[in-house]
Amino acid sequence: MSQSREFCSVQWKGRLQTLQSFSLRGVGRSGLGLRSGMGRCKAIEAVHVHKRQCYAFPVNISGGIGRVAIPVAVAVAFSLARRYMPASELQRVNKSDTSRFSQLQWLVGGTMVAVGVSFGFASYALLVWANRAWASRDAASVFQLLPGHSTWFFFPFFGAICLAWEMTLRLWIVFGNASQARLYESWSNAKTGFNATRVLRLMALVIAAPIGLLTLLAVPIHTSIGIEGLTIGHFGAISSRFYSYSDVREITVTKGNRLRDGSLQRRPAIVLEFADGKRWSSADDRDPQDSIDQSLLNFLQSRTELPISYIDAFPFGT
């Protein structure tokens, strides 16, 4: 209560200034409010003024909305699935099968987890290998900068979620008892109230497939830094772009990126500006680094023979 309420004895003439002062301090303590383009903070407050005392109660509604939105979204998704993709009785399940499947579902669930994790790790390793193989086509390089790990994470994650049941079912049909697998599928669909196989196939088509396509287009991303210049591979580009060191016009070391509100997002980088006006940053598409690679900076400076400029960040949008 002491943090969310402030008493102040003010004259009517200075009351507005005091309330504004409270808003800035209250936002700093509680983390509420939003930054506007002018860098000012606004707090949602219920203000009660009585005589010469003012009471301010910051109200945080974003956390509550987030906690409610997720279960509501899940409930709506299940309701739509039951309505438009109801469980179809492919085979009739008797009581003995129901009792057996109730115990078997834990084994099936464990198998799905194992299959999903295996798919995730295998697809992640394959994407990393493809990116490195693509970059290795360049001539001998002294430094090679590759995309961060997060670039290859999304498809393995969503693919494992959407495809684990389908792969488990197919393995059961191919290497096990196909009729029992189909019978279990019917029992599982009847239990959930919708055709889970169709729902997951739709999710794979709508979610996993586009993410997979975008991830494949990221495979060419890399920078090979050699004796003669830089070979830069871009998103979706089959051929790489080569820049000789004579094309470099400026070397700048930045502390980070300037955001729209004027604040600095710390992300140290070495930035090269080329004769065609384009820029290359050592931080692009890579995992965040605490500091720049000093050996890389020294190498670039020695090859270009240009002075190094040090700034906090380039202006936003440049």
Nearest to 90 by CA among 181, 209, 160, 224: 181
Q: Calculate ∠ Cα 36-39-41, nearest 5°.
A: 65
| 31 contacts 82 by C-beta, under 8 angstroms | no
Question: Regarding predicted confidence, which is higher, 91 or 202?
Answer: 202
Tokens at residue 57, please? 């109660």
Alpha-carbon span 310 to 292, nearest angstrom: 12
* Confidence label for 196 from pLDDT (cuts 50, 70 and 90): confident
Q: Give residue 97's pLDDT band: very low, low, confident or very high (50, 70, 90).
A: confident
Task: Decide if pLDDT at 297 tops 90.
Answer: yes
Q: Which two tokens stand for residue 254?
A: 């930045």
23 CB-near residues (< 8 Å, 6+ apart): 33, 41, 42, 43, 45, 56
Q: Are strands 264-274 and 248-258 parallel, antiparallel or unpaired?
A: antiparallel
Poorest-pLDDT segment among 15-24, 60-69, 131-140, 212-221? 15-24
pLDDT at 9 over 80: no
Pair 242, 230: CB distance under 8 Å: yes
Q: Could you tell me the two tokens for 86?
A: 């109801």
CB-based contact 227:139 (threshold 8 Å):
no
**pLDDT (average), residues 72-83:** 66
Please report where in the chains the tokens 């088509």 appear, as a residue.
Answer: 205
Does the pLDDT of residue 71 top 70, yes or no? no
What's the mean pLDDT in 264-288?
Answer: 92
pLDDT, mean over the chain: 79
SS3 313: coil
77 confidence band (pLDDT: 50, 70, 90) = low
Contact 252, 273 (CB under 8 A): yes
Q: What is the pLDDT of residues 172-182, one digit of tens each?
A: 999 999 989 98
pLDDT confidence band for 58 (50 / 70 / 90): very low
Over 90: is that where the pLDDT of 133 sits?
Answer: yes
Residues in the chain: 318
Using the predicted structure, report yes or no on whether residue 254 has a pLDDT greater than 90: yes
